[in-house]
Structure 1
Amino acid sequence: MENIISFRHVSLIKNQNKLLSDINWQVNPGEKWAILGLNGSGKTSLLNVVNGYHYPTSGEVSVLGKQFGKTNLPELRKQIGFVSSSLDKFAHVLNRELAEAVILSGKFASFGVYEDVSEADWEEVENLMERLRLGYLQGKPFRLLSQGEQRRVLIARALIQQPSILILDEPCTGLDVYSREEVLDFVENISDDCHIIYVTHHIEELVNQISHVLLLKDGKVFASGKKEDMIQEALLSDAFRVSCHVRWEAGRPWLSLESSPFVLNPSRIN
């Protein structure tokens, strides 16, 4: 397969708003990408196109060698795992289930298990949980898990289908430091066979697994390439519109501001 994902001059217009403009982006076999950008930069819109939820207004898109307009998008989505804080809207269903049932539901692309389940299905879940170091959660209600454990279970749910692409849309949002590191360690150990698209605002979440970075700004590609080339102070300062300082520790980049980007008017502080 030549490209895992290919965008050629892709634009997206919704309700007369240009959400994406002339996007050119390729994900090659073996690459794992992070997508960075401010709110409104086009990250969610780009993910919606990859998933086939939004069809591009112009340009060409292919995912896993399937060209949009010539492929069955619902069938294509079965090869894409998706984890996002937007899944919280299904909490009322998830909270009724045990951890292993939540994972199994991913096999049927449902929330809750409504299909006939074979012993082989449960064995597959058990083996996956052991491989992902989640075996200790068997028999525990999802609602009683920590936030970090819940996110890891949802990632396992996405992995049960053995997707070719795993999209992690801000998976550490709302987590404390310990829970965040649990999730990042989990991501670090996902099989190399799975192509990760990791969306975040925080460069310290770019673990060693992440090989490339796509920087978006105002719905356009601001820069893209190998992680070490993209995580540069000048590029990030321009993309994030603040003066940034970057340091590397234990193979991960960390960002701090060189000075406050805002000048407060003392007369407005009472």
Structure 2
Amino acid sequence: MAPDALRLRDVLVRRHGRDGRPLLLLDGIDWTVAPGEQWVVLGPNGAGKSTLLRLAGGGMQPTSGRVEVLGARVGGVDLRDLRERIGLVDAATARALRPSLSGHEVVLTGIFGSIALQPRRLRPEHDEHVRAALALVGAEPLAIRRYEDCSQGERQRLLLARALVGRGGTGPELLLLDEPAAGLDLPSRERLVGALAASAAARPDLPTVTVTHHLEEIPPTTTHALLLRGGRIVAAGPVGEVLRSEPVGACFGLPVAVDRTDGRWRAHVAVDAWHLTDHA
């Protein structure tokens, strides 16, 4: 039986701010992501979402508590080997890639989870993996386009394809997406959500965690949700139980109405309700 993709037990993360004062980023986090589960992590700015994703990707260790990723305890294994098993889409990777790379080359860097191409390690079948990933996310026309000439939405789809060809082309064992739709206009967002849904359908066994601020960015294939506020879990579990008006409102500190149509979620606040909350 495959181990849980993620298992966090009583996790606390504390850091010191620029003024030297301790900052509590996460506190009392108990969370499990099982094989095949598609999670979304929601919360306001400063809730601890990015910190949670860094723990999940082996990018940091907790101050206390236990973090296990793909059956390995963070702090007890070589994190470089662990990270090669994880597909990641985040802003840091997007900034680090050479602008002159073609779309095909961008995805090719994901074969070995590196930023630079590794021509001595590449084989003809790797190109086949790249073409299949580009087709899956609807980015085939971007194969010959320079990365720097792609729109933000096109770059995000290339990064998703890049994450899906990890581990030598066989695909990652865990997929982490840090605000993949941030800054996208409506058409670009919808194309990306479609690409995420297509990848989930193609790899239903692949556990995925997507961090976002907005319910409208959640793929319809999502199975579970975690709401985070002030470094603590507000609610976590099957998506239909968590993405309801009351828990989402408690998470964001607003009288939010949540509804779902055709598998997609939407949250809104009545205009006359804004005076009930301090938004400074």
Same fold (TM over 0.5): yes
Aligned length: 262
Match of residue 113 from structure 2: 109
Contact 1:42–1:218 (Cα < 8 Å) also in 2:
yes
Contact 1:204–1:254 (Cα < 8 Å) also in 2:
yes
**Which amino acid letter does the alignment assign opposite residue 261 of structure 1?**
W
Contact 1:97–1:112 (Cα < 8 Å) also in 2:
no
Match of residue 126 from structure 1: 131
Which SS does the other structure have where 2:89 is aligned?
Answer: strand
CA RMSD of aligned residues (A): 1.7
Q: What is the Cα deviation at residue 107 of structure 1? A: 1.5
- Structure-2 separation of matches of 1:42 and 1:66: 23
- Structure-2 separation of matches of 1:159 and 1:123: 13
Residues 154 and 234 (structure 1), Cα distance of their counterparts in 2 relative to 1, 3 Å cut:
same
Give CA-to-partner distance per residue, 1:215-243, whole Å, 9 cap, x none.
11110111101111111111111110111
Structure 2 residue corresponding to 1:27, chosen from 29, 33, 36: 33
TM-score under structure 1 normalisation? 0.91
Match of residue 204 from structure 2: 192
Structure 2 residue corresponding to 1:79, chosen from 85, 90, 102: 85
TM-score under structure 2 normalisation? 0.88
- Structure-2 separation of matches of 1:256 and 1:8: 33
- Structure-2 separation of matches of 1:253 and 1:49: 27
- Structure-2 separation of matches of 1:233 and 1:128: 36
Q: What is the Cα deviation at residue 113 of structure 1? A: 1.4
**Which amino acid letter does the alignment assign opposite residue 31 of structure 1?**
E
- Structure-1 separation of matches of 2:115 and 2:197: 26
Give CA-to-partner distance per residue, 1:77-100, whole Å, 9 cap, x none.
111111113334225x1x201100
Which SS does the other structure have where 1:175 is aligned?
Answer: coil
Match of residue 60 from structure 2: 54
2:274 aligned with 1:261: yes
Bigger drift between 62-71 and 174-183 goes to 62-71
Match of residue 183 from structure 1: 192
- Structure-2 separation of matches of 1:245 and 1:89: 36
Contact 1:101–1:112 (Cα < 8 Å) also in 2:
no
- Structure-1 separation of matches of 2:236 and 2:263: 20
Q: What is the Cα deviation at residue 132 of structure 1? A: 3.6
Contact 2:197–2:220 (Cα < 8 Å) also in 1:
yes
Structure 2 residue corresponding to 1:142, chosen from 138, 147, 165: 147
- Structure-1 separation of matches of 2:68 and 2:62: 11
Structure 1: 5+ residue stretches without partners: 265-270
Q: What is the Cα deviation at residue 114 of structure 1? A: 4.1
Match of residue 12 from structure 1: 13
Match of residue 19 from structure 2: none
